Structure 1
Amino acid sequence: MKIILVAGARPNFMKVAPIIRAIKTRQNNTAIEYRLVHTGQHYDANMSESFFDDLGIPAPDYHLNAGGGSHSEQTAKIMVAFEKVCLDEAPDVVLVVGDVNSTLACSIVAKKLLIKVAHVEAGLRSFDLTMPEEINRMVTDAITDYFFTTEKHGNENLLREGKSDGSIHYVGHVMIDNLLFQHAKVLNTEATSFSNHDLKKSLGNYLFLTLHRPSNVDNEARLLDIVEALNQVAEETPILFPVHPRTRKMLDSFGIRMSERIVQLDPLGYQEALYLWKDALCVFTDSGGLQEETTGLGVPCFTIRDNTERPVTVEEGTNTLIGTTGSNILAAYGGLKKGHVKTGSMPELWDGKAAQRIVDILIDDVIS
């Protein structure tokens, strides 16, 4: 069996890495091989050789260099380049992860070439069609053959959309596989080797922030409201903030200034970020992945969004959906000061073995 694994951005590689490690454990007694494709959807200067070493995987077999342009231009470039890879490699399965444009583009190409599609993180829904990711999720799942879900809500969404029960597999979450793998490495690394060790040590208690979603940062009034609230929070408790390039651009464009107690950092590598947020009093974020990862390590998380496609993190985990207003941010922080903190629990099957389950299911179905 030959599998093509598709990744378009750094977080995708974090999800694919456990699957590659699981494949390698089966290669001694199973006829299985893989090719790793980087579509180049997002350019990332931090994706050096050491990045792949940290993940425990080799560099990609193919780099499509298909980044840049509008959503449509990017999707088209990926499709054209990926079709050539599929024709050359003739895989049995194309496995895509998440909800980026690469997920959608490569699924369409594979399906039209009569290649089976496996979607990791299938069935997640925010029910917000203004989110490009929601369109990518829905279209990908419309043509997927193997649905690998991270939470039971995903199963329910897919069944409601008419997918067959036999094609839906609740396997846990590869992002948690990666988190547990990386967390062990961070704990075994000398703390002084992290670039922000001295900063972290000097701050004592601190909060951790990520903010990049277009609905939050592209709207001047909303971004100003959020920043003014965070500035107030920072007067009491400093905030570490690795600034996304998009957010940096909009802050500068709107002339919005942050408190000096919001320590603005350059974008961080995975282990550097984990080293910081794992010990934060809480995380403020509008990311999808951090909602899950904070639940994985039991760190309180306040999500600056009106909806989430990851409801299990709210129902069982440490995540609280607080909306996008400054007043809600201040209320969440006020509750934190009073000790109103969700402890949460680890969702079922978030045990670091999701990738093994995925590979076993594909082997049993394709080879058997």
Structure 2
Amino acid sequence: MKVATIVGARPQFIKAAAVSRAFLDQSDIEELVVHTGQHFDAGMSDIFFRELGIPKPAAYLDINGGSHGDMTGRMLIALEEYFYKTAPDCVLVYGDTNSTLAGALAAAKMHIPIAHVEAGLRSFNMRMPEEVNRLLTDQISSILFCPTQQALLNLEKEGFTADGRAKVVYSGDVMLDAIQTFSSLALKPSVELPQDFLLATVHRAENTDDLVKLRNLVEGLNLIHSELAPVVLPLHPRTRNAIKDANLSLEVETIDPVGYLEMIWLLQNSGAVLTDSGGLQKEAYFCGKPCITVRDETEWVELVQVRANRLCPVEAETMLSYCTDVFGQKVNPRLDMFGDGRCSAKVVHAISQLQ
């Protein structure tokens, strides 16, 4: 059996690292990793393959930049061509990026079964490109792997389990597998860092492309840095360019993007996390750190319900207040909310049953 795994962005590399290890235990499956190039910066891409032992990509498409439609369209053309050449028996996609949707669409047009890891997540905000991507991918997938019971419930409400249009599997979250596998290998970044710092990441277009929100974010980060604790910010290329174009002054400890092992170290040694990332909300929880999410909604509602995560308006004083409330606190994670740490094996086993 031949499985084409489509990746292109940081969270997908982490998930693929866990599942690819499980593929190695299935001798009758050949995995072909296809890197779309969506994240092309070495600090956002290459380092993950080196650190996590992800198989060398069978194909690198080098597609990045441009609008969502332009990027997705170019990926669709290239992936269709690759599938014609390699004839995979299944296409495996992760999450909710443009790479996810392009891989699913190309496979669906060619009647290739699609396996979607991290299915059923919903923010219920159709202005988010990620929400559009995940909804459409779920609709055309053959196997839907749900990371949480809430994701399973979302699919049930949408009729997936009643009409049998796809096989729905509660697998748990493969990112739990990844952090359990790699947390003992955490690496301190090779830069000087302050003690008792707050870890921040900002990259979503809803924050970086809205000038009012971007100004408020920069003001809030600067305020937290001066009033509460040093802020360490691995600076995403999109955010760096947006801040530069807006001529804003960022007065926190910025560092280059880091690999997964360095990010785990930063999480383990931080006093709290402020982010707009979906994946980092969970990683903070797995590491026992409180999280403030500068978004109006989250697809990981479980973390809000157990008060490990708090949604925060993009307002400077509110950001400072929320971070002050939780800084230095410990979170006791209930990992069973995200599976049993054997999620990747369940994914691979279900895919192997397609034949």
Which interval holds the TM-score relative to the shorter structure? Answer: over 0.9
Cα separation, 2, equivalents of 1:225 and 1:17: 36
Counterparts of 1:274-285 in structure 2, within 5 Å, are 274-285=264-275
Q: For residues 180 and 342 of structure 1, what CA distance do their matches in structure 2 show?
A: 17
Query: Which residue pairs with 2:160 in the alignment?
Result: 163
Structure 2 residue 219 is the aligned partner of structure 1 residue 228: yes
Preserved contact between residue 20 and residue 55 of structure 2 (Cα < 8 Å):
no
Distance 1:99 1:148 in 2: 13
Distance (whole Å) between structure 2 residues aligned to residue 68 and residue 298 of structure 1: 35
**Superposition map of 1:1-368 within 5 A:** 1-27=1-27, 31-46=28-43, 51-164=48-161, 167-186=167-186, 194-196=189-191, 199-200=192-193, 203-235=194-226, 236-259=228-251, 262-316=252-306, 318-336=308-326, 342-363=331-352, 365-367=353-355
Give how far 1:10 is off: 2.8
Post-superposition offset of 1:135: 0.5
2:115 and 2:329 map into 1 onto residues whose CA distance is 40
Task: Give the secondary-structure state (helix, strand or coil) at the position aligned to 1:67.
Answer: coil
Q: Deviations over 1:48-86 (max 9, x none)?
A: 766423112221001122222211111111111111221
Give the drift of 1:317.
Answer: 6.6
The letter for the 2-side match of 1:172 is G
CA distance in 2, matches of 1:148, 1:16: 14
Describe the superposition over 1:94-138 as per-residue Cα deviations: whole angstroms up to 9, x where unpaired. Answer: 110010111111111111111111100001110111111110011
| Range with bigger deviation, 51-60 or 207-216 | 51-60
Deviations 1:281-306 (A, max 9, x none): 00000001000111111111111111
* Residue type of the alignment partner of 1:222: K
Report how many aligned residue pairs link the two structures.
351
Answer whether contact 2:115 2:145 (CA < 8 A) is retained: yes
Instruction: Output the amino acid matched with 2:178.
Output: N
User: Contact between 1:300 and 1:343, CA under 8 Å: does it hold in 2?
Assistant: no
Provide, for residues 137-189 of structure 1, a one-character-per-residue CA deviation record: whole Å limited to 9, x for no partner.
11111111100011111111111112126611111111221222221212xx6
TM-score for the superposition, normalised by structure 1: 0.90
CA drift of 1:226 comes to 2.5
Tell me how far 1:350 sits from its aligned partner. Answer: 3.5
Contact 1:210 1:243 in 2 (8 A): yes
Structure 1 residues 47 and 298, CA gap change in structure 2 (3 angstroms): closer
Cα distance, 1:336 vs. partner? 2.5
Distance 1:13 1:256 in 2: 32
C-alpha distance in 1, partners of 2:243/2:115?
39
Unaligned runs of 5+ in 1: none
Distance 2:229 2:51 in 1: 32
Supply the AA of the counterpart residue of 1:287: S
Secondary structure at the aligned position of 1:25 is classed as: coil
Cα–Cα, structure 1 residues 237 and 45, in superposed 2: closer, same or farther, change >3 Å? Answer: same
Is the CA contact 2:278–2:300 (under 8 Å) kept in the aligned structure 1? yes
Letter in 1 for 2:241: K
SS at match of 1:126: coil
SS across alignment from 1:115: coil
Question: For the residues of structure 1 that align with 2:33 and 2:87, how far apart are their CA atoms?
Answer: 14
What amino acid is aligned across from residue 99 of structure 1 in structure 2?
A: D
The residue type paired with residue 168 of structure 2 is: I
Partners of 1:160 and 1:300 lie apart in 2 by 30
Q: What is the CA–CA distance in structure 1 between the aligned matches of 2:224 and 2:337, rounded to whole Å?
A: 34
Distance 2:45 2:205 in 1: 27
C-alpha distance in 2 between matches for 1:47 and 1:237: 26
Aligned residues of 1:316 and 1:347 also touching (Cα < 8 A): no
Whether the 8 Å contact between 1:120 and 1:148 is mirrored in structure 2 is yes
Q: In angstroms, what is the RMSD of aligned CA positions?
A: 1.9
Q: Helix, strand or coil: the match of 2:126?
A: coil
User: How far apart, in 1, do the equivalents of 2:70 and 2:45 lie?
Assistant: 26
